[in-house]
Structure 1
Amino acid sequence: MTKIVAVTACIAGVAHTYMAAENLKKYAKKEGYDIKVETQGAMGVEHRLSEGDIKDADVVIFAVDTTVSESDRFEGKKILKVGTSEVVKDGKSTIDQAIDLISK
């Protein structure tokens, strides 16, 4: 099974951070992919991805409007970077883009 990890973070760290996370989970599950999402919002880092989660991931999605905290954890991984608004509007497209990135 294809494994995806994602980090979501918006400037305010409130609505878009969590809406983007939910949309990524919704569409990944619909398509049959395994996904884990770390949120970096007003409440700090939640659902922190483990080293194993990151190591096992086929692709990483950064759905962010700001800097990803401790982004060096993802070094060497294929990363798709998009804004949170894009994911909130069209989560399926983001998942599709991430899957396309795996085959490159």
Structure 2
Amino acid sequence: MQKIVGVTACPAGIAHTYMAAESIEQAAKKLGYEIKMETNGASGVENRLTEKDIEEAVAVIIAADTSVEMKRFHGKPLIEVSVGEAIRKADIIMNQVKSGDIEIYQS
């Protein structure tokens, strides 16, 4: 099973951070992907991605309206969207992952 990792973050870090993570997780599972989402919320970073998680991932999804530690994703296929897009368009984002039409992130 292919693995995807992602990070969600918003300035308030309360509801939308978690709604975006859940939306992406559900869309990924529908397409048969294993997924791990890191959330950067009001209570800090939860479910932090490890180097191994990132290494194993076929794609990275960043859904953030605030800054995210990006260097760690150098050389990985990466999609960057707003938190709102992740909530509303998770299926579209996941279809982009499936198609492989993703830019390689250069830090």
TM-score, length of structure 1 as denominator length: 0.91
Aligned to 2:45: 45
Alignment of structure 1 residues 17-28 onto 2, 5 Å: 17-28=17-28
Aligned to 1:74: 73
- Counterpart CA distance in 2 for 1:15 and 1:103 is 28
Aligned to 1:36: 36
Q: 1:73 to 1:13 in 2, by over 3 A?
A: same
Q: 1:94 to 1:103 in 2, by over 3 A?
A: closer
Alignment coverage as a number of residue pairs: 103
Query: What percentage of aligned pairs have identical amino acids?
Result: 50
- Counterpart CA distance in 2 for 1:88 and 1:103 is 19
Q: 1:44 to 1:58 in 2, by over 3 A?
A: same
Where does the alignment leave 5 or more consecutive residues of structure 2 unmatched? none
Contact 1:38 1:49 in 2 (8 A): yes
Letter in 1 for 2:94: I
Q: CA RMSD in A?
A: 1.5
TM-score, length of structure 2 as denominator length: 0.89
- Counterpart CA distance in 1 for 2:66 and 2:99 is 24
Q: 1:101 to 1:64 in 2, by over 3 A?
A: farther
- Give runs of ≥4 in structure 1 deviating > 3 Å: 101-104
Where does the alignment leave 5 or more consecutive residues of structure 1 unmatched? none
* Cα shift readout 1:41-93 (whole Å, capped 9, x = no counterpart): 1111000011100001011000111110x321111111100001011112111
